[in-house]
Amino acid sequence: MASVVEYKGPRVGYRCGYCDSPAGKVSSGMWAHSMTVQDYQALIDRGWRRSGKYVYKPVMNQTCCPQYTIRCQPLHFQPSKSHKKVLKKMFKFLSKGEFSKGNNEEEPMDSQMDDAAVEDFVLKSKLDIQSDRRPLSEDYNEVIESEVKEKEENLEAKEIQQFNQSHAAKESLGSGEPSRTVKGVPSTPKPGKGADLSKPPCRKAKDIRKERKRQKLILKSQTDKLEDFQTEREPQLLPSGKSKLNQPKSIEDFIFDTLPEDAAHQLKFTRFLCSSPLEAETPPNGPDCGYGSFHQQYWLDGKIIAVGVIDVLPYCVSSVYLYYDPDYSFLSLGVYSALREIAFTRQLHEKTSQLSYYYMGFYIHSCPKMKYKGQYRPSDLLCPETYVWVPIEQCLPALENSKYCRFNQDTKAVDEERVNELDRLRVLYKRTIMPYNIYKKRQKGPSDEAIVQQYADLVGQTCSERMLLFRS
């Protein structure tokens, strides 16, 4: 079994769905008549991605919005506050039927997959985040800060209310005698006549917040010093590992939390092989589901509300896209499905140790609606020149200065898969498999060596020798 591909060459100057440039997009593509999971794994590790049977690779230094392949490391993943919010919202809806549709915005769309939308389902990017009441262009840290600020302001308002109620209670619990005017101390003024100097001055919410923050820092400093002292002086008093109670909740703790017996809704999942160029494989040392493309169906009370498409490959689960019923957009199904797929990757890893990554498609730093993928930490970006993985934290400063960046800091590093022997490339010509040097002798008409060399450079030496390049 071998992959059979038909290289279509570069496609230049077509509309970009990210920046709306009418002719700024540039990519190379090929049609996959069939493809092994091993070859597709190798291709996505060189910046390729599939949409149905069409496999494409952006020309990174020419396209208007460079699209960097991004992968998450599920084994070290911890859900953020915004992720936990989505998981808790789903659990609350399932267990109690409670939800709020009013303030939810529609999740942004991955325009690369527009052609796959069907009927009543709205096609969305697998990981697109719904930003409740906040614009998508906000930075992740700003989102978290706004959440903390909102909580603090609510707490301050509550404290001020309790403070006022407390003073009112003290006044009502006095001796019952009418108040007297003491020389030098004015009596309680009438409403609108000025401040009551017999009470402590009113504190501004900003001052209360600063004081609370200062106290928290002092308390944290004291706690850290105490822990350091205990670690240094009395190591025998500390357990070798954190107890379950002190550990942050994992993604499984949220997703697989047991629903009450009288839960308002039931959410079920089914998984089926689906049509794709990838050839399904079930090797003995592979995952129980095997390798290939799958539909993950989300059933709510017997009604299908979403379908996710994923590729299970030798080293990763690759997210393709998600259909969902727009009536349930308030559940942030794009985020929820991504978190479930991260948990699914962790499950597959238990059986197949080398399968340990979750590929999220493309990260586009210059497009606000596509930067959210960087919030799934830890994650890496693929260097577009040397095809090595670099932690996203190291890439972001460079991306702030330039849309296109080489992430590998080793200036001497090169593409280890660059093609040195084009003659070893395999060709399918007139229903016969042959190396390129034989094909050249049989070829009629003008030479196509330039386009074949271009194809080989894009797929790399290994794939050029394994895959069959169809030539007519």
Quick one: pLDDT at residue 89? Answer: 96
Quick one: pLDDT at residue 194? Answer: 54
Cα(471)–Cα(447) distance, integer angstroms? 12
Residue for token digits 């106290």?
A: 215
Quick one: pLDDT at residue 110? Answer: 44
For the chain, give every domain's residue range.
4-66+417-471, 75-139+250-360
Amino acid (one-letter) located at 153: E
**pLDDT tens by residue, 275-292:** 899 999 999 999 999 999
Quick one: pLDDT at residue 22? Answer: 95
Quick one: pLDDT at residue 47? Answer: 98
Tell me the pLDDT band of 186, cut-offs 50, 70 and 90. very low
DSSP lists the bridge partners of residue 428 as 433, 470
Quick one: pLDDT at residue 237? Answer: 34
Torsions phi, psi of 7, nearest 5? -75, 130
- Omega of the bond prior to 378 within 30 degrees of 0, cis? yes
Cα(240)–Cα(242) distance, integer angstroms? 7
**pLDDT tens by residue, 428-450:** 999 999 999 999 999 988 999 99
32 sits in the region (left: phi over 0; alpha: psi -120 to 50; else beta) called: beta
Quick one: pLDDT at residue 376? Answer: 97
CB 407: neighbour CB atoms within 10 A? 21
Question: SS3 for 166?
Answer: helix
What DSSP designation does 420 have?
S
Tell me the pLDDT band of 114, cut-offs 50, 70 and 90. very low
Q: Is 395 exposed, middle or buried (0-12, 13-18, 19+ CB in 10 A)?
A: buried
Quick one: pLDDT at residue 220? Answer: 63
Mean pLDDT confidence for 67-75: 98
Torsions phi, psi of 93, nearest 5? -65, -45
Q: pTM surpassing 0.75?
A: no
Judged against a pLDDT cut of 90, whether residue 318 lies above it is answered with: yes
Judged against a pLDDT cut of 60, whether residue 130 lies above it is answered with: no
Mean pLDDT confidence for 161-165: 51
Judged against a pLDDT cut of 60, whether residue 342 lies above it is answered with: yes
Cα(384)–Cα(389) distance, integer angstroms? 10
